[in-house]
Structure 1
Amino acid sequence: MSTPVSSDSLVDPASAVVQNVAQDVAAYLAKLNEAQRAAVEHGGPQAFAPGAPLPEPLLVIAGAGSGKTNTLAHRVAHLVVNGADPHRILLLTFSRRAAQEMTRRVSRIAAGVPGAAAVLAQGLTWAGTFHGIGARLLREYAEQIGLSPAFTINDREDSADLMNLVRHELGLSAKEKRFPAKSTCLAIYSRVVNTGDSLADVLARSFSWCIEWEPQLRALFAAYVDAKQKQNVLDYDDLLLYWAHMAQEPVIAADLATRFDHILVDEYQDTNRLQASILLALKPDGRGLTVVGDDAQAIYSFRGATVRNILDFPAQFDPPARQVTLERNYRSTEPILAASNAVMDAATERYTKNLWTDRASQQRPRLVTVADEATQARYVVEQILEAREGGMKLKQQAVLFRAAHHSATLEIELARRNIPFVKFGGLRFLDAAHVKDVLAVLRWAENPLDRVAGFRVTQLMPGVGPATAARLLDQVAACTGAYRAAEALAAFA
């Protein structure tokens, strides 16, 4: 016979955690500095009492190297430890990898609090990128907005191909004067969608060489949207666009607002207008909303992001959002931060912050001006060799660059001087397919008996596959001397 269960024993797991908070709070907050802890504990204990209003909006200005990710993870863990339902927490990050890392950190932080691990056993079910979360929500509400739940999502390459197909159907690729390529057309379309600006403004500001094609581009984009709708496909931009429009529907907006108590956003300085409008639709009064970012690190305006989102955030609510600034840097030395602070001070509009550290150093950063990329590469290599002569191993040295293709000139210089290196992020320049093709042509011209080079080069020709290439190389190998080899190639052709 089963044992009767009293109503007192039916306690929600999240509520049970609250009973154990007092004795464990110091353990997982002890390593935070004062500013970090202020951000983590924002709202105070009263904000987590049953029926209490959610905490007011919070803006965390996190300077470079100030422990932003650690602070945000502690904030999420603190919410769960104090009784927040993890299924009602929406965590929006810049990448899927960041969401996964954040989820792991939250679990590690809360693991030391009795009961919290059980609550987080299923993880943060609503942690991901704006696009990823948008796709999930669109499938749930698809029928309410006239969309089939079976829609498929085109990646950037598929979207460019569809744009190109529509481009051909409209006869734009057959113009006497070259029409913008498919990738350019997609970039213009994406900028219009994500910024909310008019096509004319986007062309004038970022694609001035395409202004003459404005009427044709307008027709192309209308046909592109029509093609997507007929095929029941969405592109990445649609995931935000449809979500933003969906959030403007009163019935859906009300339902969405009741799904999430707490919304936390990472890298807010790199959000666009669509993303900001989504947040305001979900949290009109800002209660339960936390955004973290740094206006000095806004680098994605070329993707439609606007630094205005973070600069204007506090004033969008009444009363204005609380601001907590993280200024202690854990990565750099004092001279580097002094230089960084001087650069940031020159900004006409910014959040005031003064990065500091207790890591002293006598070495000051240097600003070196060079004539061109080749000179820059030579300077860097000379510094590397000088450091090596001073006792610093090559594997202890690193060169940072903004994008993978920026390292091409440096890689050539390193290879020329026989300096071994490992590249992280993209292919090494000499490993790129088109570069290896050119090198193979040069090697084969120099040595017709080089079978590896010949095998690669011959298959670049139309209609030549591995079998044909092998027969050709066999004939070349049977010859003696470069002249005879050239005759064999001519005869085969």
Structure 2
Amino acid sequence: MGVTLNPAQREAVEHGDGPLLVLAGAGSGKTGVITHRIARLCERGTPPQAILAVSFTNKAAAEMAERMIPLVGRQRAEKLWLSTFHSFGVRFLNEESRALGYPGRFVIFDQGDALGLVREIVRREGLADRKLDLYSVHSRISIWKNRGLSPEQVPVTDFEYDVIAREAYGHYQAGLRNMCAVDFDDLVCAPVNILREREDIREKWRARFRYMLVDEFQDTNRVQLDLVRLLANDRHNVTVVGDDDQSIYGWRGADVGNILDFEQHFRGAKIVKLETNYRSHTPILVVANEAIARSKRKRHDKVLRAFKGPGPKVKLTTLPDAETEAKLIAQEVRELENEGQRLGSIAVLYRSNLQARPVEEQLRVQGLPYRLFGGTKLFDKKEIKDAVAYLRVVVQPRDELSLRRIVNYPTRQIGDTTVERLTRYGRAYDLSFMQVLERIDRIPDVPAAAKRGTGLLLRALEKARHGLESGSLESVARTLFTDVGLERHFREDPNKSTQKRWHNIEYVLRSLERFSKRGGKKATLAGFLTRLTLDLSGEKEVAKEQITLSSLHASKGLEF
């Protein structure tokens, strides 16, 4: 195959039919094993579209796609199903939208949208008489969904947040349905429910894929395991790659038991261990092996060996406080730079994001450029979230959270009192918020200015919807932002920092233009919004030579 594989790697690549568990230690070349196994399956005559390979991050999926091109050729590589669990869920739900039970398109709620829905439910239902950590409420709902528990199946406890989350769960699911929306968890949970309930759909998808490969299997949760099992064909041609010693996401629902008990889920599984590390020198692996060996939990036995051989010792330094520690880090970075190391090859890792602040301060003192990995992203900025909300309402008028976000932004005389009056009217007549706005002229006690503002908004949205039938995505979005006064709101503000925020919206428009050019006639506004929500935009504005600051969890999968 034109590449040198070690005996264990080749054994995994050459495996035929049946379940395969590849225990891949850190730096053992697991991505190469996955890509070469796919190439080998293609060589044996498997159509590329009959192979599904699932990675955990968009970065890993993109890297896999790039690696496949020289192995099987661009034409075959583009036919492979290479995705994350969530992007696979989008493709599945788009194809099986009738089974989802929504009329027309569905929208995908990101975490901010989901928290907004939880906030509205807690307020509307009077679930708490004090300010709550809404993230904690939503995270409980998320964990229950990923364990396959319906609102009725959630165990009863006396803990306040459990009680509130359990009460909100059913309303949360109803709210999603009413707005034709799914959240991130539904991108896996909904396909699992459909595959369970519809034998015809299950058999169709099982017949579609002859082979499945799953990377980072130690990080899968209960419902992701269920998806793999439901898609597996009669021969159980499932290859999973992972390392139980690298399981660090239990706090967000990952179940290391999925990889530890793989042989119980898929009887007769073959196990291959990749124990040669190509990334680190011996001293690093000695420390790692010793730390792992002290673990008291159940694990697959393996010991990593360094291909690179000896190297400098691992240095452990104990310091009196965080400030002294940060000064030492900045000093060490400066010394490494003076020795010729690129700043882009240096990373500072920490357990909690709170620990980054003193390090940031000292790097600034030293004049050392850095980036916060996993920090605030461009598409998380308020002005961009507002602009995207307009686009989402164009695609799906029933997206009530987005509609409420934009209804009076920029201001169009539809204040909180009017919104509350409209909300009560909608509840009384069982109408969506969009339907209420469309009937605003018939609703008593609504100020004339609010009616005029609503009319302008609705006409602009309708104009944009019709514009999508013939105009370019970028020009339709630009015209919409002008018609609703968004551009004027930023450009005419006397505050220069506010004016600069329009540049961020211009960046969205340029991104939309690039998306259109790449997709051609197949490019849709709904597709663009899906890519943004799944963080697939591929847009980066990061200088090349910057030190990376990252939490240990966020750094997983990166190399320096």
Q: TM-score, normalising length from structure 2?
A: 0.62
Aligned residue among 302, 306, 315 for 1:366: 315
The runs of 5 or more residues in structure 1 that have no matched partner are 1-26, 44-54, 112-116, 434-463, 471-493
Alignment partner, residue 138 of structure 1: 93
Cα deviations by residue, 1:165-215 (Å, 9 ceiling, x for unpaired): 222211236x1x33x2332222221122113469999999xxx9x922433
Structure with the greater alpha carbon radius of gyration? 1
SS of equivalent residue, structure 1 residue 378: helix
For 1:236, the aligned partner's letter is: F
Alignment partner, residue 501 of structure 2: none
Alignment partner, residue 123 of structure 1: 79
Matches of 1:224 and 1:343, distance apart in 2: 43
1:30-429 superposed matches below 5 A = 30-43=3-16, 55-111=17-73, 120=76, 122-124=78-80, 126-172=81-127, 175=129, 177-178=130-131, 180-196=132-148, 211-249=159-197, 250-283=199-232, 287-319=236-268, 321-348=269-296, 349-384=298-333, 391-392=339-340, 395=343, 398-402=346-350, 406-416=355-365, 418-423=366-371, 425=373
Cα deviations by residue, 1:393-440 (Å, 9 ceiling, x for unpaired): 574872331576542211212223x34233252569xxx99xxxxxxx
Over 3 Å counting, the alpha-carbon distance change for 1:187 and 1:214 in structure 2 is closer
Deviation at 1:228, TM superposition (A): 1.3
Matches of 2:155 and 2:330, distance apart in 1: 41
Over 3 Å counting, the alpha-carbon distance change for 1:149 and 1:297 in structure 2 is farther
Matches of 1:227 and 1:199, distance apart in 2: 14
SS of equivalent residue, structure 1 residue 423: strand
Matches of 2:203 and 2:295, distance apart in 1: 40
For 1:261, the aligned partner's letter is: R
Contact 2:106 2:182 in 1 (8 A): yes
Contact 1:285 1:317 in 2 (8 A): no
Alignment partner, residue 490 of structure 1: none
For 2:307, the aligned partner's letter is: D
Contact 2:337 2:343 in 1 (8 A): no
Matches of 2:101 and 2:240, distance apart in 1: 32
Matches of 2:184 and 2:287, distance apart in 1: 39
SS of equivalent residue, structure 2 residue 272: strand
Contact 1:286 1:317 in 2 (8 A): no
For 1:38, the aligned partner's letter is: E
SS of equivalent residue, structure 1 residue 309: helix
For 2:79, the aligned partner's letter is: G
Contact 1:103 1:127 in 2 (8 A): yes
Matches of 1:396 and 1:154, distance apart in 2: 34
1:4-15 superposed matches below 5 A = none
Deviation at 1:255, TM superposition (A): 2.2
SS of equivalent residue, structure 2 residue 348: coil
Matches of 2:150 and 2:99, distance apart in 1: 28
The runs of 5 or more residues in structure 2 that have no matched partner are 382-489, 497-560
Deviation at 1:253, TM superposition (A): 1.9
Matches of 1:396 and 1:216, distance apart in 2: 45
Matches of 2:127 and 2:281, distance apart in 1: 56
Over 3 Å counting, the alpha-carbon distance change for 1:318 and 1:426 in structure 2 is closer
Contact 1:140 1:149 in 2 (8 A): no
Q: How many residues are matched?
A: 385
SS of equivalent residue, structure 2 residue 52: strand
- Give the root-mean-square deviation of aligned CA atoms: 3.3
**Farther off after superposition, 152-161 or 263-272:** 152-161
Matches of 2:363 and 2:219, distance apart in 1: 34
Q: TM-score, normalising length from structure 1?
A: 0.70
Over 3 Å counting, the alpha-carbon distance change for 1:202 and 1:267 in structure 2 is farther
Deviation at 1:225, TM superposition (A): 1.1
Matches of 1:255 and 1:236, distance apart in 2: 24
Matches of 1:216 and 1:392, distance apart in 2: 56
Over 3 Å counting, the alpha-carbon distance change for 1:469 and 1:38 in structure 2 is closer
Contact 1:384 1:394 in 2 (8 A): no
